[in-house]
Structure 1
Amino acid sequence: MREVYIVEGVRTPIAKSGKRSWFANIRADDLAALVINEVLERAGITGKKREQVDDVILGGTYLMKEMGSNIGRYAAIMAGMPYRTAGCTVDRLCGGGLQSIAFGVSSIAMGWSDLIIAGGVQHMTHLPMLSGVDPNPGLGRFCDPNMVRMGYTAEMVARKFNISREKQDQMAVESHAKAHKATVEGLFRDEILPVTADVPTEDGSAKKMLVDRDQGIRPGATMESLSQLKPVFMEDEIATVTAGNSSQTNDAAAVVLIAGKEKIKELGLKPRLKLAGYAVIGVDPALMGIGPAFAIPRVLKQAAMTKEQIDLWEINEAFASQAVYCTEELGIRNHPLLNPRGSGIALGHPLGCTGARIVTTIMHEMPYYNAKYAVESMCIGHGQGAAAIWEWVG
C-alpha cells in the first residue's frame, strides 16, 4: 500500500448552538465550504491545481435540511471546486469526522485516489439533537431503549462505575481553565480560520463580527459555581450529570488535506501526520461513553504499541462522567498532556465535526509539545468507540 499523510488542517471557531450562536446566520454547507477553500489555500493548492482533488468526504449527523442530501458534495460545489471533484457524507455520529479521515487515508493507501479533503461539519443551532430521529418501537427487545438519550447514558456510566459529581465537576473546571489559557496565549490561532458573521444581538437584530475564537469557554468556571447546577438528565437523589459537566452542542466545521507520498512530491507539499492505526468497537448502548476504554487498547494492539509510547492524549469529553471513567481505566487521568488545551466540555462537541477538529488541534499541538505519537479517541452515540494513533512526521 502507498504511504499517506495529513499535510494541512483547519477549523472554524466553535460556536455555541442556540439563538445567540455566533453562526446562527451561516449555513452548515457554507461553513464547510470556508474550511475547504482555506485548507487548499494554506497548502498552496490554488488555480488549476484544485482540479487534482479527487474527493471531499465530510462527517455529519442529523442529515436533513441543510445537512441533508449529501452535504459533502454540496459543500464542495459551494466551495467552487471543479465538478470533477466528487463528494460524500459519512455518519458515525460523534466519530463521523474521524471516520471520514480514515476513509480518505484508506482510499489513497489503496491507490484509488491521490488527494482528498476530509473532515466534518455540524450545525446544531439549525438541527438540534435528535432532529428527525424516530427510534424503532421494538428497540427495547435488544437494548435499553433510553440509550437514544446521551445524557441518560452518561448517568448510567456515573452510577455503574461510581464516578462522583466532584470528579466530574473537577474535570469540567480543568477543561475550561486549559481552553481559556490556550486561547489567551494564542495557541489556537494557527488552526482557526476567522469567520465574518452576522451575530444575533439581544434586541433581535444582528451585527457584523469577526469570529476568531471559540464561544463556549467559561474562564470563570469553578467547583463552587458548577456545584450550584442541578442535574438535567435525571433528577433523583443520586443524579450527577449537569450542563456544567457535559459537552456543549455546537456549530463548526473542520477539514484536513490528505495526500499520498507521490502527490506530496509532485505538488511540493509538506507531510505532517501519519495515521499509525485506527479502530472502532461497539459497547453496550446504555453505557455509550465507555467506548474509548475499549477502542484505545484495540488500536494500540493493532499498531503493536503500548500506552507508554504515547506522548499526547486527546480524549473527547462528551460527558465528564465517561471521560473520567475512561481516563482512569486507562491509567492516564493525570497524564501531563491529556487534553492539554481543553476538550468537549469547554471547546464544545459539534458531533460530526469533532473528530476532524481534534486532528486539526493535534496537528498543531504535537510540534509545540515535542510529541512523536498522539492518540485521539471519542465515545460514539448508540454504543461505540473510535481511536486513532497519529505519528508526527513534520
Structure 2
Amino acid sequence: MREIYLVESVRTGIAKAGKSSWFTNLRADDMAALVMNELMLRAGLEDKKQELDGVIMGGTALINDMAGNIGRYATIMAGFPYSVPGCTVDRFCSSGVQTIFNAVAEINMGWGSELIIAGGVQHMTHVPMGTGSLPNPRFNEFTDMNASSMGWTAEMVARKYGVSREKQDLMAYESHAKAHKATMEGLFKDEILPIEVEAPQKDGSTQKIVVDKDQGIRPETTLGSLAKLEPVFLKDELSTVTAGNSSQTNDAAAVVLVASKEKCQELGLKPKMKLIGYKAIGVDPAYMGIGPSIAIPLALKQAGLTIDQIDLWEINEAFAAQAVYCTEVLGIRNHPCLNPRGSGISLGHPLGCTGARIATTIMHEMPYYGAKYAVESMCVGHGQGVAAVWEWVGDSPF
C-alpha cells in the first residue's frame, strides 16, 4: 500500500431543500465547481490545476442539474484544464465517501494518478427525493416491497430492535443542541466556504445573502416539541418515526484533495489524515439502517484497531431509529465524541454529498479534539452500510 493522504477539504453550508432553500438559485454543478476551486486555493494550487489527475464526484438521482456526468461537468464549469478528467459515482447515501476510497485506490495502483479531487454534491431542491425513480415490480420477490421507502425501513428497525420513540427523540434533541452550540462557537467556520446567493424570501422575492452556515439547525428544539410530532411513514400505534427524529433533505457540496506522498513532497502539500480502513457491506433492504453496525467492525479489523481505540465517531443520523440501534449495539451511544457537532438530523443529509461532508468535518474535528483515530459510517439506501477509518497525520513529518 502506497502512502496516500487527504491534504485539504472544504464544503458549502448545508441548505434545507425546498422552496426556501438558500441554494434554490444555485445549480448543483456550479455549487460543486465553487468548492473545487476553493479547495485548490486552500491547498495553494490555484495556479497548478493542470497537476490534477482527475475529479471523482459522488451523487445520486443523476438528472436535471445533477446530470451530465456531474463530476466531469463541474470540472469544466470550474474552469479546470480540459486535460483533467471527471467521473461520477453513485452509492446513494455513501457516494461522497466512496469517491475518496476510489481516489485512494486509483492512486495506489501506481498507474500515473497522484493527485485527485474527490467529493460529493446533491441538490434535493432541484431533484427531490424519489424523482425519476421507478421501483422494479419484482422487488417483492427478494424483500418487502415497502423497503424502497427509507422511512419505512427505519420503522422496521425500531420495531425489530425495540428502539423507543423516547430514545429517538432524545438523539434528535441532542443533535440540534450540539449543532447549534458548534455553530455559535464558530466551529464550522473553517470548513465552510461562504457563498453569496440570491435566496428566496417569503413574499416571493429574492435577497442577496452570504451562506456561511447550515440552514436546518433548529435551536428551539425541545423534547416536548419533538414529542408532539406525528409519525410520518406509518400511522399505527407502533409508529415512532417522525420528521423530527429523521434526517432532512438538503442541498450541499463538499470536496477533499487526495494525494500520494510523492506528490505531497513535490508540491509542498501538508498531509492531514489518511484512510486506513474501508468497508461496504449489504444487509436486508427492509432493515437497511443496521448497516453501520456491521460495516464498522469489519473496517476496524482492516485497520488493526478496536472500538475502544477510536477517539471520534461520526455516525450519520439518517434516522434516529437506526443511529440509536447502531451506536447502542457497538457500545458507543454515550461516547463523548459521538457526532460532537450534530449530524444528519440537525445538519442535514444531502445524500451524495454526506460522506464527503463528514470527512471534511472530521478533518477539522480531529485536531480540535486531539483525536488520533476517527470513524465515519452511514447506512445506505436499499440495504447497505459503509464505514471508513481515518488516522490523523497532521503533526507527523514525512
Common fold by TM > 0.5 = yes
The 5-angstrom pairing of residues 7-156 of structure 1 reads 7-47=7-47, 49-112=48-111, 113-156=113-156
Secondary structure of the 1:276 match is: strand
Residue 93 of structure 2 contacts residue 352 of structure 2 at CA under 8 Å; is this kept in 1? yes
- What is the CA distance between 1:219 and its match in structure 2? 0.5
Residue 37 of structure 2 contacts residue 46 of structure 2 at CA under 8 Å; is this kept in 1? no
Aligned to 1:295: 295
- What is the CA distance between 1:189 and its match in structure 2? 0.2
Residue 312 of structure 2 contacts residue 375 of structure 2 at CA under 8 Å; is this kept in 1? yes
Aligned to 2:260: 260
In the superposition, the TM-score normalised over structure 2's length comes to 0.98
Residue type at the aligned position of 2:66: M
Aligned to 2:204: 204
- What is the CA distance between 1:131 and its match in structure 2? 1.0
Q: Output the CA distance in 1 between the equivalents of 2:182 and 2:297.
A: 29
- What is the CA distance between 1:303 and its match in structure 2? 1.5
Residue type at the aligned position of 2:57: L
Residue type at the aligned position of 2:19: K
Q: Output the CA distance in 2 between the equivalents of 1:83 and 1:378.
A: 34
- What is the CA distance between 1:203 and its match in structure 2? 1.0
Residue 31 of structure 2 contacts residue 252 of structure 2 at CA under 8 Å; is this kept in 1? yes
- What is the CA distance between 1:285 and its match in structure 2? 0.2
- What is the CA distance between 1:186 and its match in structure 2? 0.2
1:360 aligns to 2:322 (yes or no):
no
Aligned to 1:277: 277
Q: Output the CA distance in 2 between the equivalents of 1:139 and 1:223.
A: 38
Secondary structure of the 1:334 match is: coil
Give structure 2 stretches of 5+ with no counterpart. none
Q: Output the CA distance in 1 between the equivalents of 2:246 and 2:51.
A: 41
Aligned to 1:322: 322
Secondary structure of the 1:347 match is: coil
Q: Output the CA distance in 2 between the equivalents of 1:342 and 1:70.
A: 31
Residue type at the aligned position of 1:274: K
Secondary structure of the 1:349 match is: coil
Q: Output the CA distance in 1 between the equivalents of 2:49 and 2:301.
A: 38
Q: Output the CA distance in 1 between the equivalents of 2:159 and 2:23.
A: 36
Deviation by residue 1:67-116 (Cα, 9 ceiling, x = unmatched)? 11200000000000000000000000000000001000111111131100
Secondary structure of the 1:345 match is: coil
Q: Output the CA distance in 2 between the equivalents of 1:363 and 1:159.
A: 35
Secondary structure of the 1:80 match is: coil
- What is the CA distance between 1:46 and its match in structure 2? 1.8
Q: Output the CA distance in 1 between the equivalents of 2:99 and 2:31.
A: 17
Residue 175 of structure 2 contacts residue 341 of structure 2 at CA under 8 Å; is this kept in 1? yes
Aligned to 2:230: 230
The 5-angstrom pairing of residues 306-317 of structure 1 reads 306-317=306-317
Q: Output the CA distance in 2 between the equivalents of 1:376 and 1:311.
A: 12
Q: Output the CA distance in 2 between the equivalents of 1:60 and 1:115.
A: 21
In the superposition, the TM-score normalised over structure 1's length comes to 0.99
Residue type at the aligned position of 2:68: S
Residue 276 of structure 2 contacts residue 302 of structure 2 at CA under 8 Å; is this kept in 1? no
Q: Output the CA distance in 1 between the equivalents of 2:147 and 2:120.
A: 24
Pairwise CA RMSD of aligned residues? 0.5
- What is the CA distance between 1:150 and its match in structure 2? 0.5
Give structure 1 stretches of 5+ with no counterpart. none
Aligned to 2:331: 331
- What is the CA distance between 1:242 and its match in structure 2? 0.2
Q: Output the CA distance in 2 between the equivalents of 1:300 and 1:68.
A: 35
Secondary structure of the 1:66 match is: helix
Residue type at the aligned position of 2:82: Y
Residue type at the aligned position of 1:283: V
Residue type at the aligned position of 1:51: Q
User: Which portions of structure 1, spanning 4 or more consecutive aligned residues, are displaced by more than 3 angstroms?
Assistant: none
Number of aligned positions between the proteins:
393
1:159 aligns to 2:186 (yes or no):
no
Identity %: 70
Aligned to 2:375: 375
Q: Output the CA distance in 2 between the equivalents of 1:54 and 1:209.
A: 35
Residue type at the aligned position of 1:57: I
Secondary structure of the 1:120 match is: strand
